[in-house]
Amino acid sequence: MTQFTEEDTDSVVRLQHPFWALVLKHFFDVFFAFSMLIFIWPVLLILALLVRFSTPGPVFYRGIRSGLHGRSFRILKFRTMVEDAESLGGPTTGSNDVRVTSIGSFLRRTKLDELPQFINILFGEMSLVGPRPEVPEYTRLYKGEEELILSMKPGITDYASIKYADLDDRVGNLDPDAYFREHVLPSKNKLRVRYVKEWSISGDFIILGLTFMRVLGKICKL
């Protein structure tokens, strides 16, 4: 793995991967996302109906996130919280958060709420594997090596997604936003930087395999 120092900041933010490899990654993303949407559309329809009729509000959550080069986009998820939940609390969801709906709790624990992000991939806003996108209020604080995070498309999964699959339980319910900023975000950013530095096509397949096993384990437990 390439090592960087404080003096190498300028070269850090210009770190580039082979063009052919990124093109191959993009074509695989689009092919996989399109194939999955065709294959799982009945599941998506059932989940959409459950969300729509379980509690008042839209089917999808469309939160603003920072994407490639810091450009904002709206991430798609099945809504797991009550309508206007962001006005009732911070961006971090803690354990036993009263804003989370009953169907939303199931979707969050199984990660099925993330499935609509295949649509983000088709629009070129996300990748299957890549640094998980953050809200702009956090990405504006990136400095030094952390700027590398925005040099690749954000993904549905990465090292941080696997490590913090149980994030809601980890942050607790006393002050989840403060706990996230102080204890989780720095660790997540290190894992995001690591992903960008060490990125390879084979590495993406490893992360996809680990993610599948983690999600399958959660579904089996439930």
Please state which of the ranges 28-42, 98-112, 121-135 shows the lowest mean pLDDT. Answer: 98-112
Would residue 95 count as lying in a domain? Answer: yes
Position with higher pLDDT, 36 vs 216: 36
Number of domains, the chain: 1
Would residue 11 count as lying in a domain? Answer: no
pLDDT band at 10 (very low <50, low <70, confident <90, very high): very low
Q: Where are the alpha helices (DSSP H) in 85-158?
A: 102-110, 117-122, 136-139
Residue 37 reports pLDDT greater than 50: yes
Angle value at C-alpha 200, between 25 and 111, nearest 5 degrees? 70
Would residue 193 count as lying in a domain? Answer: yes
Count H helices and E strands in the chain, helices first. 10, 4
Would residue 50 count as lying in a domain? Answer: yes
Would residue 74 count as lying in a domain? Answer: yes
User: What is the extent of the structural domain holding 171?
Assistant: 18-221
112 CB burial (10 A radius; 0-12, 13-18, 19+): buried
- The pTM of this model reads 0.85
- Look up residue 61 and give its two tokens: 């959550």
Residue 5 reports pLDDT greater than 60: no
Would residue 13 count as lying in a domain? Answer: no
